[in-house]
Structure 1
Amino acid sequence: MDDMELRKTHPQKYYLKFICNSLYVLGYGSCWYEETPRTNFHKIFYKIWSGIANFFIVIIVINEIMANFRPNLTAKEQNDLVQFTFGHSLIVAKIVTMYYQRDRIKAVLKKLLEDNRTIFISADIDKSSVKKVKVYCIVLVSTVYLTIVSAYIDGFRAHFNEGIPIRGEITYYPTPLDSGILVNILRFIVEFHWLYIVTVMNLIDCMSYCTLIFLSSQFKLTQTYYNLLRKKYTKNSNKKTCNVLGEEYKKDFLIGIRLHENALWCAHHVQASLGYIYSSQICQSIILIVMCLVKFVTSARNMTVLLANMTYLSAMTVMTGAYMTAGGDITYEASLVSTTMFHSGWDLVVFDKELRTLAVVAIQRSQAPVYMTAFGVIILSYNNLIMVLRSSYSFFAVMY
C-alpha cells in the first residue's frame, strides 16, 4: 500500500509512520513495527550515521554544560546557559528513553493501529483524531521554532549593540573572543545543533501526542460500537426470533469487550513505554518555566528580550498542556465506556443469564479509571496542567 492510499484508508497509521520514519532518518533507530528490507551496506552505513548523530548531540550538550565553568560569562549568558543546560539535558533524556523503549513502542503501535481495525472501524473517529493531532503538532512546532527565531532576533540585537558574535547556544568553546575560519565553522555547527536537537525533540513529542490521542480514540471507538449495538438489536427485533437475536447479540457484545480490552492493553503499555517521556516533560517544564521567570526579573528591559522570554514561556506551556490535555482525554473517554456498555441493550436479552453475568463483570471492569501519569504520581489531566503552572510560579516565588 503506497503512502497516498494509506493516508486515505488509515490516516492514523500514515502520520505515525511518517514521524517514526523521520526519527529513523535523523539517526535514532526505528520505532516502526513494519520491517523494511535493507541491504547490508545500508545497515552498516546507518550504524555509522546513527553513531555520528548521537555523538553530535551528546558532545555539544557536554560542551554547553562545561560552559558553566567559563570565568567570563555575562549576566545574560549565565541566565541563558541555565536554561540550555537543563533544557537540552532533558531533551537528551527523552531521546535515551525513546531509544531504550523502542521495541516496546513498536509493539504498542502495532496493537494500537492494527488490532481493532480487524474488528470495527469508524472513519469519523479516525478523521477527528487525525485533525486533533494536526492541531497539536502544528501548534507545538510553530511555538518551538518561533522561540528559536525570537532568540536569534535577540542575538542580532546583541551583535549590533555589543559587537559580540550572533549566537543561540552558549558553549565552553568557542567563546565570543575566539575568531578565525575554523572557529566560525564550529560556531555554525553549534547553531545547527540547536535546530537539530529541537527537531528531534519535536518528533518525539509529536509521536507521544499522536499515541495518546489515538489511544483516546480507541475508547471512543468502543463507545461508538456499543451505541450501535442497541440500535442493531432494536432494528432486527421484528425480523428474527428471540433466540437468534440473543445469540447474535452475545457474539457482538463479546466483540465489544474485545475492543475495550485492546484499548486497556494499549493504555497500560503506552504508559509503560512512554511514561518516562511524560515525566521528562513535566520536569523540564517546571524547571524551565522557573528559569524563564527569573530571566524576566533579572534581564534588561527591551522588546527583543521580552519577546524571547514570552515565546520560551509559551513553548513550555504548550508542550506541557498538550500532554496534559491528551492524557485527560483518555481518562474522560475511558470513563464513558461503562455508560455506553450499560445502555447497549444487554437488558433486552432477558432469557440469557450468562450474558447478564458477563455484562455485569464487563461494566464493573470498565468503571475502573484509566490514567496516564508522570513519575507514577502526577496524573495527566486538565486540572493538573494548572497545578504544574502554579507549582512553577510558587517555586519561583520561594526561590526568588
Structure 2
Amino acid sequence: MKNYFILKNLCRKMYLAGAGDFWFEESEISKGKSLRYRLLCFILFAFYISMTVLEIIGVFFGDMPNDEKSDCTTFAVSHIIVLCKMLSVILNRKRVKELNKKLVEICKDHEDEHRVAENYRIMKINAVAYAVFVYGTFVLFIFEGIRKMMTGSHFITIVTYWPFYEDNSSIAVTFRFITTGVLGVMMVPMICIDSFALVTLIMYKYKFITLRYYLEGLREQFDRNNYAGNEEYATDQLHSGLVEGIVMHSNLIRLSKDIDRSVGGVLALQVCLSSGSVVSLMLQLALSKDITLGAQLKIILFAVALYFLLALFLCNAGEITYQASLLSDSIFYCGWHASSMRRDLRRLVLFSCAAAQRPIVMKAFNMLHLTYGTFIQVVRGTYSVFALIYAQNESTAE
C-alpha cells in the first residue's frame, strides 16, 4: 500500500497549497467542506488572476524600458499558461479522484516493496529537483530586483501595468513587494500540480513493470509446480494467473485515457509554455545590450527549469511506451506451451500478445504524442523560431 500513502501525502500537499481536495476517500484530507478554506482559495486565485491581468495590460499599454517590457511579456505568457494548467486539474477534480483510486488499486496485490521504494525515490528526486530549479530562479529574480534598487532604480520582479515605471512612491514600492510575494505563493500550487502529473506518469510506468515481473513469475511458478502427478494443478494455477494478468493489463490500457482526461491538459500546456517562453527568454538574452550577469543567470535558469520539467514529462511518458512494449514477450513465455491445456491457453495468449503489441502512446488532448521524439522536436522547433526572429531583427537593425 506504499502507493496509497505516496498519493495521499501528495494530495494533502495540494490541499494545503490551496488547490483543493483530490483524494478519493471523502473527509480524509479536507475533514469536510470548509467555507473558510473555500474563501481562502478564492482570495488566492483572485490575486493570481489579478496579477496576470495587470501583466497582460502592461504588455499592450505599458510604457517601460525594453528589458522590463520583455520580462512583462515573458511573465504574462507564462502565468496565463500556468493558470490554465492549474485550472485544468482543479476543474477536473472528480476525474482526478477516480484516477487516484485506480492508481492505488490496480496491481496493488503484486507490487514489490523494493521496487515501490525505488519508485518513490525517483519521484522524490524528480519533484525536489524541479522545485529547486523553480525557486532558484525566483531567488535570482529577487536578487536582480534588489540590485536595481541599489543602483538607483526601483525594486522589480513582476512587471505589471501599474505601478508605472516612473512611480517610486511608497504605495508603488509596497505593491511591487506584494506582487513578488504573490508570485512566491503562486509557485506552491503550481509545483504541487506539476508534481502530481509527474508522479502519475512515473507510477503508471511502474505499474507496467510490476505486471511484467508478475507475468515472468508465472513461468517460474509453473516450472516449480509442473512435476509428475501435479500437472493439472500447475496448469490451473497458470490459467488463473494468466487471466488475472490479462485483466490487469486491460485495466492499465484503459487507465491511459483516464490520465489524458485528468492531467493531459497539464502536459500539453507545458509543451506550449516551454516552447513559447523559452523563445522569449532567448531573444531577451540575445538582444539585450547591457545585460548584467545576474540577469543572464535568472534568464538561463528560468529556461532550464522550463525545459527540465518538459523533459521529465515527455521522457517518463516515453518510458511508459517502452515498458508496455515488453509485456508481449512476458505473456508469450509464461509457460502455456508446456501445460496440458496448451490448446485452450494458446488462443488466450495470442489475443493478449496482440493487445500488448499495440503501442501505448501517451497523448495530451488526444492528439499530441508524449515521447522522447516530441521533446527533441520541441527543442529544435524552439531554436528554429528563435533563430528566425533573431535574424529578422538583425537585418532590420542593419
TM range (shorter): over 0.9
Q: Choose the corresponding residue for 1:324, options 314, 337, 353.
A: 314
Trace 1:272-291 onto structure 2 (pairs within 5 A).
272-291=261-280
The correspondence for 2:260, drawn from 271, 285, 305, is: 271
For 1:4, the equivalent position in structure 2 comes to none
Paired position in structure 1 for 2:139: 149
Secondary structure of the corresponding residue to residue 175 of structure 1: coil
Residue 61 of structure 1 is aligned with which of 36, 52, 58?
Answer: 52
The AA in structure 1 aligned to 2:131 is V
1:167 and 2:159 equivalent?
no
Which stretch of structure 1 is more off in the superposition, 12-21 or 92-101? 12-21
Pairing partner for 1:87 from 78, 85, 88: 78
Shift of 1:156: 2.1
Q: What residue number does 1:140 align with? A: 130
Instruction: Give yes or no for contact 1:116–1:262 (8 Å, CA) kept in 2.
Output: no
Task: Give the alignment partner of residue 396 of structure 1, picking from 364, 386, 389.
Answer: 386
Superposed CA deviations along residues 49-105 of structure 1, whole A, max 9, x for unmatched, are 221122121111111111124443111101111110100000000011011111111
Secondary structure, in 3 states, of the residue corresponding to 1:164? coil
Of 321-330 and 145-154, the range deviating more from structure 2: 145-154
Counterpart Cα distance in 2 of 1:141 and 1:252: 42
Q: Which amino acid aligns with 1:61?
A: T
Q: CA 1:150 to 1:362, structure 2 compared with 1: closer, same or farther past 3 Å?
A: same
Partner letter of residue 268 of structure 2? S
Instruction: Report percent identity of matched pairs.
Output: 24
Alignment match, 2:196: 207
Q: What residue in structure 2 maps to residue 365 of structure 1? A: 355
Of 8, 23, 35 in structure 2, the residue corresponding to residue 17 of structure 1 is: 8
Superimposed CA distance per residue, residues 180-214 of structure 1 (whole angstroms, 9 cap, x where no aligned partner): 55444433321111112222211111000000000
Gaps of 5+ in 2: 391-398
User: For this pair of structures, how many residues does the alignment match?
Assistant: 388
The more displaced of 365-374 and 279-288 is 365-374
When normalised by structure 2's length, the TM-score is 0.93
Determine helix, strand or coil for the equivalent of 1:72: coil
Letter of the aligned partner of 1:295 in structure 2?
Answer: Q
Distance 1:168 1:240, change over 3 A: farther
The one-letter code sitting in structure 1 at the alignment partner of 2:211 is T
User: Alpha-carbon deviation of 1:384?
Assistant: 1.9
Are 1:125 and 1:220, in contact at CA under 8 Å, matched by a contact in 2? no
Judged with a 3 Å threshold, the aligned counterparts in structure 2 of structure 1 residues 183 and 18 are, in CA distance, closer, same or farther, namely farther
**1:197: which partner in 2?**
186
Asked if structure 1 preserves the Cα contact closer than 8 Å seen for 2:283 and 2:386, the reply is yes
Partner of 2:303: 313
User: 1:193-272 to 2 correspondence within 5 Å?
Assistant: 193-238=182-227, 240-272=229-261
- Gap change, CA 1:39 and 1:136, over 3 Å in 2: closer
Q: Deviations over 1:93-140 (max 9, x none)?
A: 0011011111111101101112321x3221122112111111211111
Matched residue, 2:395: none
How far apart, CA to CA, are the structure 1 residues paired with 2:169 and 2:66?
26
User: For the structure 1 residues 176 and 282, does the alpha-carbon distance in structure 2 shift closer, same or farther, using more than 3 Å as the test?
Assistant: same
Give the corresponding residue for 1:121.
Answer: 111
User: Distance between the aligned counterparts of 2:376 and 2:126, measured in 1?
Assistant: 18
Aligned-pair CA distance for 1:350: 4.4
Check if 1:33 corresponds to 2:32: no
- Cα distance, 1:39–1:113 mapped onto 2, change above 3 Å: closer
- Structure 1 counterpart of 2:332, from 331, 337, 342: 342
Q: Give, in whole Å, the separation in 1 of the partners of 2:8 and 2:156.
A: 35
**Equivalent residue, structure 1, for 2:367:** 377
**Contact 1:223–1:336 under 8 Å retained in 2:** yes
Separation in 2 of the partners of 1:305 and 1:188?
19
CA distance in 2, matches of 1:277, 1:305: 28
Which whole-Å deviations, capped at 9, do the CAs of 1:153-195 have from their partners, x for residues lacking one? 222222222x222221011222343345544443332111111
- Aligned partner of 2:297: which letter? L
Contact residue 293 and residue 396 of structure 1 kept, 8 A: yes
1:205-250 deviation per Cα after TM superposition (whole angstroms, max 9, x unaligned): 1000000000000110110001111000101112752222111110
Contact 1:282–1:320 (CA<8 Å) still a contact in 2? yes
Name the residue aligned to 2:346. Answer: 356
CA distance in 2, matches of 1:24, 1:247: 47
Question: CA separation of 1:158/1:349 partners in 2, compared to 1, >3 Å: closer, same or farther?
Answer: same
The structure-2 alpha-carbon separation of the partners of 1:346 and 1:39, relative to structure 1 and needing over 3 Å to count, comes to closer
Aligned counterpart in structure 2 of residue 107 of structure 1, from 98, 102, 123: 98
Distance (whole Å) between structure 2 residues aligned to residue 258 and residue 337 of structure 1: 13
